[in-house]
Structure 1
Amino acid sequence: MRFEKENWDVIIVGTGPAGACLAREISKQHKKVLLLEKGQADLSINIPRMLKNNEMMFIGNGKTLVRGIRSGGTSVLYYGTAYDPPEELFSKFGIDLASEVEELRRELPLAPLKDELIGPAAQKIRESAVSLGYAWEKLDKFIYQDMCTPGYFPFDAQWNATRYVNDAINSGAVLLTNSEVTKVIVNGKQAVGVEAIVQGERHKLFASQIVLSAGGLGTAQILQASKINKAGEGFFCDPITIVQGLAEGIEAGNEIPMAAGMMFKNEGFILTDLTLPKLVYQLFSFQALRPHRVWQHRRTIGIMVKVRDGIGGSIKRGKVHKVFSEADKLKMQQGESKAREILQHAGAKRLYSTVWTSAHPGGTARIGEVVDPNLKSEYDNLYVCDCSVIPTEWGLPPTLAVLALAKRLAKHLLLRSYHRR
């Protein structure tokens, strides 16, 4: 295998937003970049396939977690919502992401939806929330809005990290899919490469710098296998439920989700409108023991409750387990109560809540504990950049934050490379 004989400038493990952004930024500077992706290049959203690929997994007590194991990572599955990284969270570690966020806002299609693109369910919910006195505001979306028309939201209109992966490849980066990294190769206190199973064969691949961007679960497992045992000691996963009801006089079901919402910062949750894709809606209806509702997709309006859960649970030997605390459950109850109030005021009937699921696990290699403010691990030349480095509980869509961290890390790695000349 010729890739095994190369001495790469940077090996990046994972092609989600952070890994893809790093590869794009570094390869543009004519560095030899190798991207290793455990999954395949697959843009389809197929629930049986997701279950087979462990993209939907049980984490205990009937709770599920969704992640992307594919080129583009979870950004292929997300709803394209952007929140600025909380300044106070990162500033205590001397991290300022303002300039990186500004760069990303210039590069990416980041803006609230035009009024004409807000669907009937989202509009009905927004009017209800505002009339009740809630500060329900439009949210920034990663969407090329010129590709959309009212009621028409093509998949390609939503930005995902495969665009950055393709940019990196066009700049000379090499992508290997079906490539599972098992551990980092260490010489003394210095990382020199990775061991990986590439398309069924075990290989050793070497680089001057290595970045793990395999997601909150994948990165923790690689770090543990590499004798960084503190990784994976607790994580957050932002549990979600959707309060749904039936509304008369609207044709919902085919609209851009999470158009508007509100953050309840002190209470520890956010609320947004959420119209699920039809197949996901039907799956959730069965899970909630509401099979009679599977054919009511176009009459359904819903509000997502996303909770900022505490750091807890464990990741050990590939097994992921999380028991949510009483405080987490109370936050969810409070969020559901407000969601029900807004939906009932909007005229929705026969309300119910879906079973808990969760998304974008992180906090498994926290800044200040497992990595330093430059995202370097205890091994020289080994860095981490994805949701796992977020230093505390989160509760927000993380894409813009991890992209900003990746931009910042790319500058650091390029500067180190320059000083090595």
Structure 2
Amino acid sequence: MVIIVGSGAGGAIIARELAKDKIPVTIIEKGPYIESKDAFNYYDVYNDDVDLLTTTCIGGATIVSMSNMVRALDEELHEYDIDISKEYEYVENLIKVHDLDDSHIGRGTQLFLDAGKELGLKTLKMPKAIREEDCIQCGKCAFGCPADAKWSGKDFVDEAVEYGATFISEAEVTEIIVENSEVKGIKYIKDNVEKSINSDTVVLSAGAIGSALLLRSAGIDAGHELFFDPFVTVGGYLKDINFNTEVQMAGLVIGKDFVLSPHFSTFTFEDESIESKDILSIMVKTADDAKGYVDDDGDVVKINTINDIRLLAEGVATAGFILEKAGVDPSTISSTVYRGAHPGGTAPIGKIVDSNQETEIKGLFVSDASVLPVSPGKPPILTILALSKRLSDYLKN
């Protein structure tokens, strides 16, 4: 039997792939099993110094993601003899990654795309895993899809259970059982009762923070070199744009050191007289220098370098030019506070895990954003899915 800890992108696809081939699988999820529309209630809270967007529930952060699916880190992974081109193709076909139909490109997104092209920027539609026939274009992608129109890890967990996998929710793993440098199972608490499951194969997919803490409990010094995608949202006033009801992040501008995507946020304005329907805003996201870490209490410590700040400033300036070209009143342009998403790098390939994502403890694997060797500066979900598909094939063999 294979034990999978966590039900985000990595854990979900491994569970599906193994259960589909009749391999016994048990999935342990710390959070509850919920409906997608309720996901906004399960955002995690960190310390006051870090505004990091993660969730604890079935599907992990995928359930509140924008379902953006881009390939990342191809060349960087080649340095570790990892080629996931076939896995990318498999996953893209499986979850039907595609550019949104024009019927789901709203006016605000189209203005973003047109302005980017006029400014000579590399501009394209964002590849997504969204079912247009179900999408009601409500703008609530980051709250958990009320129409269940986008892919999330929950889809794969449900499939895995249909194939015969066991899913245990609201269960916190407290210990990795290790004997003679080999994994023997896990201990967990559910309903205030400690239980255990024996297995010689355990996959940690609890996220960059959760997996790092579990690795430490097993004696592996993980949790350093933490990165996340630093971002701010820059917006301004454009009367009756109604961008707040569009599919979010449906466009993309790729800069040398940053990416931009149309993303609604009311936090761009402190002036309560400005209505949500009159805001057009853009997310600015950069790669990260990975100078953060997870402390022993599970708190995230983020250290920003001069390079982090410089890249973000370049992206913000470009976003301002796009907004003005799109018709936004330049005197109203402002920004959110600095935030973060997609934490990773706490158990990187080549340091904490090998090219098969196995730790120094035989049978103990990691498959989530923890294993990414550097910050991609792009949405990492597709890369995590491809790496995890590769790991599922390795475990089968």
Could you say which TM-score interval applies, normalised by the shorter chain? over 0.9
Residue 203 of structure 1 aligns to a residue whose secondary structure is strand
2:379, 2:198 → 1: CA distance?
34
1:260, 1:12 → 2: CA distance?
34
CA deviation after TM superposition for structure 1 residue 85, in Å: 2.8
1:364 aligns with 2:346: yes
User: Is the contact made by 1:116 and 1:150 (CA closer than 8 Å) also made in structure 2?
Assistant: no
Equivalent of 1:124 in 111, 125, 128:
111
Residue 51 of structure 2 aligns to a residue whose secondary structure is strand
User: Is the contact made by 1:59 and 1:321 (CA closer than 8 Å) also made in structure 2?
Assistant: no
Once structures 1 and 2 are overlaid, which stretch shifts more, 209-218 or 86-95? 86-95
CA deviation after TM superposition for structure 1 residue 37, in Å: 0.2
2:295 aligned residue: 316
2:306 aligned residue: 326
2:55, 2:300 → 1: CA distance?
16
1:215 aligns with 2:207: yes
CA deviation after TM superposition for structure 1 residue 323, in Å: 1.9
Could you say what the CA RMSD is over the residues aligned between the two structures, in angstroms? 1.7
Residue 184 of structure 2 aligns to a residue whose secondary structure is strand
Deviations 1:75-98 (A, max 9, x none): 111111111133201111010101
User: Is the contact made by 1:370 and 1:377 (CA closer than 8 Å) also made in structure 2?
Assistant: yes
Equivalent of 1:307 in 280, 286, 304:
286
1:114 aligned residue: 101
- List aligned pairs for 1:145-160, cutoff 5 A: 145-148=132-135, 155-160=147-152
- List aligned pairs for 1:271-420, cutoff 5 A: 271-276=260-265, 281=266, 284-285=267-268, 290-292=270-272, 296-317=275-296, 318-349=298-329, 350-415=332-397
Tell me: CA distance 1:117–1:95, structure 2 relative to 1, closer, same or farther (3 Å): same
Give me the TM-score of the superposition, normalised by structure 2.
0.94
CA deviation after TM superposition for structure 1 residue 116, in Å: 2.0
1:18, 1:189 → 2: CA distance?
24
Letter in 2 for 1:115: D
1:255, 1:396 → 2: CA distance?
21
1:243 aligned residue: 234
2:234, 2:219 → 1: CA distance?
43
CA deviation after TM superposition for structure 1 residue 29, in Å: 1.4
Letter in 2 for 1:346: A
2:295, 2:37 → 1: CA distance?
30
Letter in 2 for 1:333: A
Residue 310 of structure 1 aligns to a residue whose secondary structure is coil
1:138 aligns with 2:125: yes
Letter in 2 for 1:78: S
Once structures 1 and 2 are overlaid, which stretch shifts more, 243-252 or 185-194? 243-252
CA deviation after TM superposition for structure 1 residue 124, in Å: 1.1
- Residue identity (%): 32
Once structures 1 and 2 are overlaid, which stretch shifts more, 89-98 or 319-328? 319-328
1:337, 1:13 → 2: CA distance?
41
CA deviation after TM superposition for structure 1 residue 59, in Å: 6.3
CA deviation after TM superposition for structure 1 residue 377, in Å: 0.2
Equivalent of 2:80 in 87, 93, 116:
93
1:198 aligns with 2:190: yes
Deviations 1:327-382 (A, max 9, x none): 10111111100000110111212010001111110000000000000000000000
CA deviation after TM superposition for structure 1 residue 275, in Å: 2.5
1:408, 1:340 → 2: CA distance?
41
Tell me: CA distance 1:150–1:228, structure 2 relative to 1, closer, same or farther (3 Å): closer
User: Is the contact made by 1:11 and 1:210 (CA closer than 8 Å) also made in structure 2?
Assistant: yes
2:249 aligned residue: 258
User: Is the contact made by 2:70 and 2:382 (CA closer than 8 Å) also made in structure 1?
Assistant: yes
Tell me: CA distance 1:320–1:151, structure 2 relative to 1, closer, same or farther (3 Å): closer
Count of equivalent residues: 388
Tell me: CA distance 1:151–1:127, structure 2 relative to 1, closer, same or farther (3 Å): farther
Residue 19 of structure 1 aligns to a residue whose secondary structure is helix
Tell me: CA distance 1:34–1:115, structure 2 relative to 1, closer, same or farther (3 Å): same
Letter in 2 for 1:119: G
Residue 406 of structure 1 aligns to a residue whose secondary structure is helix
Tell me: CA distance 1:50–1:70, structure 2 relative to 1, closer, same or farther (3 Å): closer
1:73, 1:252 → 2: CA distance?
27
CA deviation after TM superposition for structure 1 residue 45, in Å: 4.6
Residue 58 of structure 1 aligns to a residue whose secondary structure is coil
Letter in 2 for 1:130: K
User: Is the contact made by 1:109 and 1:159 (CA closer than 8 Å) also made in structure 2?
Assistant: no
Letter in 1 for 2:336: T
Residue 329 of structure 1 aligns to a residue whose secondary structure is helix
1:37, 1:65 → 2: CA distance?
20
Letter in 1 for 2:291: G
Deviations 1:3-29 (A, max 9, x none): xxxxxx100000001101000000111
2:143 aligned residue: none
2:129, 2:120 → 1: CA distance?
28
Letter in 2 for 1:104: V
Give me the TM-score of the superposition, normalised by structure 1.
0.89
Letter in 2 for 1:254: T
CA deviation after TM superposition for structure 1 residue 325, in Å: 1.1
User: Is the contact made by 1:12 and 1:210 (CA closer than 8 Å) also made in structure 2?
Assistant: yes
CA deviation after TM superposition for structure 1 residue 167, in Å: 0.4
Q: Which ranges in structure 1 are unaligned for 5 or more consecutive residues?
A: 1-8, 416-421
1:382, 1:311 → 2: CA distance?
24
